[in-house]
Structure 1
Amino acid sequence: MPTGACGIDCDVCKLKVAGICSSCGPGNSDTAARKLAAQVRLLGAPCPILACAQNQQIFYCSRDCRSFPCENFSRGPYPYSEGYLAMQKRRRRQKPPGRTPSGTVLTVPAEYWEELKTRDIDQLCRLSLAAPKPPRGLLVPFFNRSILVDLENSALRERIEGRWQPVDYPLLELVMQVYLLNVTETPLTGERVSVHDLKDAHFFQGPHTLKTAPLLEIFGRNLPGFIAAARQLGGAKLDLAGAAFMLLPLPKIPVYYLLWEGDEEFEANMTVLFDRSIERHLTADAIWGIVQLVSDMLVMSP
């Protein structure tokens, strides 16, 4: 494959076209092994970036490595500038842009906040399994941390370095509001179902297909990476598929991700399951949204 582990696309480089240089290939490829051997033979030492990628069995550093950009990039003269690496660090802290199934930018209706403000906080907490946060707020468990739903200021907040900081993540804001407005008394059933088993199964087609393609692109041949990302979110490992986890984005909404790793013969596959009770708490479009949210969190997991 022409793209090197560092992310440079050798196919668009004249050095490769002219036969002066060859591609390093993905870190876990035979091409990388041959390139490393040639570097040691001709230069006396391997490229530290490629050697690290091979050692960790990572395809591409910028896509698959949780430490990118690391010191191997910053202390060397190439392949990226300091400005590019700084941009990568900065933007990796951003939340993915929230979009509707049609691709338009997601907006949060103001009336959702107004409706929440009319609800009794104690009742909301009892139904949603949240905790009250005086004077006018709720602490809602979100994966392995809590989000403050600040009703007084119509905002979500997360505790960072001892302070409640605003959360600028429209998808999370919308999913959180829909959950709080619609959650019922219904407990978990323990029965796992797919979207095909739901009463609104017909909804999950075309643009409403569950968002798993980015996960397959990143983790389809990187089972350890998927395991690390799921554990980072507090996922509970299950003895299913190649790797499977129960993730808990909201207290009554467990989501199960099952991944079968791909190889040269079979493509990777992923299945998302839910507790049967999800239909009592969320509509079909909200279920689609919760999967998009969980998938985004897995992709961006530090």
Structure 2
Amino acid sequence: MDTNYRIAYNKGWQDVKQKDPVQIAAQMAVTYLPDTQQFIVPFLNQNYLLDLKQETIACQADGKTPEIEAAILLLHYLSFFQSKAEVTNKWVSLKEIPHGGSLFYPAFHKTAIHDLITAFGQQPQLLHKCAPILGGQAATFGDASAIFQVFPKIPLCVIIWEGDEEIAANATLLFDPSITYLLHIESVIGLGGYLAKRLVRLAVPQKASYIQA
């Protein structure tokens, strides 16, 4: 494991253990099992079991350990919240999120947004094939869009606009403003980037099947 990831992972466990697990469960809409000291956390259409005693994280369905980025995001979701923020049902760009969103947006666009454009910009319908695998529900924005309940209290929205000979393809990834109170700005960026990466990864075999057809 990369040293920076290891540091963030270990600190994530420390931060979770400093909070009352019952309060975490109540405020973040997850399940806490006091007898086993475990949390059950829904994340991108899967439930994950976080064991406080063993400091382990595993997918409840198959027992597999999540990618390190996902593991850190799970820990941050349980530990960072500052208030009982509720979803506003509004959408904002990373540029509109306080504490550095506008500063980090160019780098976010260069990676996450650019990759979404590359994967889906010429075939927006692919988004509607990939999104349900991660729990995404089709929305009515752009040429293709989907809303993902990434965590119980954190929805994200991906929108694709198809390109042609005259207009370049485009994409965006939007957040509910309440995320400001639930995750540190670096975790906000990490969450958006992780969702984009998972979608792009799912798009590759779908594109191949289109070409073969």
Q: TM-score range with shorter-chain normalisation?
A: 0.7 to 0.9
2:103 to 186, 203, 211: 203
Mapped to 2, the partners of 1:115 and 1:197 lie a distance apart of 27
After TM superposition, the structure 1 = structure 2 runs for residues 241-280 of structure 1, keeping only pairs within 5 Å, are 241-280=142-181
Which residue identity does 2:75 align to in structure 1? Answer: Q
Q: What is the match of residue 228 of structure 1?
A: 129
Paired residues in the alignment total 198
Residue 15 (structure 2) pairs with residue 115 (structure 1): yes
Which AA in structure 2 matches 1:185? K
Question: Which stretch of structure 1 is more off in the superposition, 256-265 or 199-208?
Answer: 199-208
Secondary structure of the corresponding residue to residue 57 of structure 2:
strand
TM-score (norm 2): 0.84
Task: Establish whether residue 167 from structure 1 lines up as the match of residue 60 from structure 2.
Answer: no
Q: Which amino acid aligns with 1:272?
A: L
Q: Secondary structure at the match of 1:257?
A: strand
Q: 1: CA distance between counterparts of 2:16 and 2:5?
A: 19
Structure ID, larger Rg: 1
Matched, 1:132 2:32: yes
Q: Contact conserved, 2:41 with 2:47, CA < 8 A, in 1?
A: yes
Taking the aligned partners of 1:265 and 1:221, their CA distance within structure 2 comes to 13
Displacement after TM superposition at 1:288 (Å): 0.5
Matched, 1:187 2:86: yes
Q: Quick one: distance in 1 between partners of 2:114 and 2:4?
A: 20
Query: Which structure shows the higher helix fraction?
Result: 2
Q: Distance in 1 between matches of 2:15 and 2:31?
A: 19
Separation (CA, whole Å) in 1 of partners of 2:199 and 2:165: 25
Aligned-pair CA distance for 1:277: 0.7
- TM-score, normalised by the number of residues in structure 1: 0.60
- Evaluate the alpha carbon distance shift between residue 147 and residue 240 of structure 1 in structure 2; reply closer, same or farther with a 3 A threshold: same
Query: Relative to structure 1, is the Cα distance of residues 189 and 160 closer, same or farther in structure 2, using a 3 angstrom cutoff?
Result: closer
Counterpart of 1:141? Answer: 42
Q: CA deviation at 1:208?
A: 4.2
**Runs of at least 5 residues in structure 2 that lack an aligned partner in the other structure:** 206-213
In 1, distance between residues paired with 2:201 and 2:25?
29
> What is the deviation of 1:123?
0.9
Q: Is the 8 A contact 1:203 1:284 kept in 2?
A: no
The answer as to whether partners of 2:121 and 2:163 remain within 8 angstroms in 1 is yes
What is the CA-CA distance between 1:291 and the residue it aligns to? 0.5
Cα distance, 1:155–1:192 mapped onto 2, change above 3 Å: same
Q: Following TM superposition, by how much is the alpha carbon of 1:168 offset from its aligned partner in structure 2, in angstroms?
A: 3.9
